Each structure stands twice: as C-alpha cells, then as structure tokens.
A = this chain, B = another copy of it.
Amino acid sequence: MVRKPTSKESARKPNMREAILAAAEELFATNGFNAVSVRDIAQAAGANPGSVTYHFKTKDGLLLEIYRRHCGPMNLRRSELLAAAKRVRDLQDRLEAIVRAYVVPAFTSGSDLAGGGARFTRLRAVMSAEGNEVARKIIAQTFDDTSHAFIDAIHESLPHIPRKDIVWRSHFLLGALYYSLVTPDRVSRLSRGEADGSDPANAIEQLVQATVASFQAPALDQPARRRPVVSSKT
C-alpha cells in the first residue's frame, strides 16, 4: 500500500517520486550508472538525497523501478503491434510491419510517459554497454520472450532463411537501434547537416528500410553469388 492517490498534492512538489524517477532516467541514460551520484539525481529532481533512499531504498532499487515502470507498457505495445503485423497478408509488407512493430515502441512513448520510449531505450543501451548486473537480469527475463516472438514472426515470413541468420540480423537491428539513440549527433555531423539524427521519425524510417533489406539478404551458407574479393585473411 505504498501508492495512495492524494487528491491534494504537496504544495512544493507534486509527486516527488516521479520527479526523481524522471531525473534518474535522464541522467543514467546520458552519463551511465556509475557516473551519476544519488546526490546528482536528487538535485536534478529538486529533492533531498534522503528522499531517494526513502522511496527506492538503494541506487540499484531506483534503477530497478525505472525498468519496472517501462518494461510492461513497452512490451505490451510491441505485442499489440506484432499481432497486427502478423495479420498482414503480403509477405513483404508483413515483414516491414513486423520490423516496424519492433522499432516504433522503442523510439516513441511507452504509452504513459511522454517521449519516454526513446529515453528508456537509450538507458537500456547504456546499461547494456556498461554490463550493469541489475539491468542484465531484468533484460534477459523480460525481453527475451518478446525477442523470440519477433524472431519467430520474421522467420515465418522468411522461411528460406535459417533461424540462426535471423537471430544475427535482429541482433544487428537492436544494435543499430541502440546506437541511433546513443549518438544521434554523429549522423548529423557525418551527413553534414543533410540528415537530422535526432529526428525519431527519420530514424525509424531509415532503420526500418535498412533492416528489412538486411533480413531479405540471402542466407549465409547459401552458395554465394560470387566469391569474396579482397582479403581472405590479412
């Protein structure tokens, strides 16, 4: 019974708990877990360091709660979009719909938090890179089901591609997705302003298009169209 919807909020800070969560999410996502102190988070949220301990007990507990907050809605939304995608008749269109069902919720809101989708996905990317233990456990047990569902769906629309190859390519998809959220400025810089790496709609379309094509690549063990050309070894 921790949650109680107070009709009359605190005068100073309406829902400090949420403010701390939001601040932590932002700071963790941009600086990593260890680079951010509890005091940093409290200050960004306009709270007292003790408040963080009160609401979340430990720093790990705070991270855990951020994940709990987002995982459910995001996976739900992905499931809905995946179900809809699987009803698409045309195989080519279906594949694109499936990829889109995977990508879109990662970039856009997790249904309750405004613009929270991209921030949370970036957080996951950073925690994954840092090898964060708390995150690793939650991710494996929360997202693997979803990942398998997507892999299976993709496999059904590309029956001639070995499942192994599809796993690799969906892994590349997640890496590309993560990286797009981690350093969007790199796209702007390398394209000399022609592309805006920070524009989610742009990123989604580019990522979906590129990924669909990668999934449609011939299988690896298939007799290659032609021989690899340069550098077999050194």
Contacts and interface: CB of A to CB of B under 8 A. Distances in A.
Given A176-B176, A177-B175, A151 B190 contact: yes
B32 A84 contact: no
Number of copies: 2
A129 B130 CA distance: 8
A58 interface: no
Interface in A180-227: 180, 182-183, 186-187, 189-191, 194-195, 197, 203, 205-207, 209-218, 220, 225-227
Contacts of A187: 167-168, 171
A92 B175 contact: no
Interface size bracket, A side: 35 or more
Interface in A21-78: 30-35
A101 interface: yes
A125 B125 CA distance: 10
A118 interface: no
A231 interface: yes
B104 A226 contact: no
A120 B170 CA distance: 24
Contact of A130 (B130, B168, B207, B233): B130
17 contacts: A32-B34, A90-B229, A96-B228, A130-B130, A163-B194, A171-B186, A172-B179, A172-B180, A172-B207, A172-B210, A175-B180, A176-B176, A178-B179, A210-B214, A210-B215, A212-B217, A213-B213
Given A93-B229, A179-B179, 7 more contacts: A97-B231, A167-B191, A174-B179, A205-B220, A210-B215, A216-B230, A218-B234
Interface of A: 30-35, 81, 84-85, 88, 90, 92-94, 96-97, 100-101, 104, 125-126, 128-131, 140, 144, 147-148, 151, 162-165, 167-180, 182-183, 186-187, 189-191, 194-195, 197, 203, 205-207, 209-218, 220, 225-231, 233-234
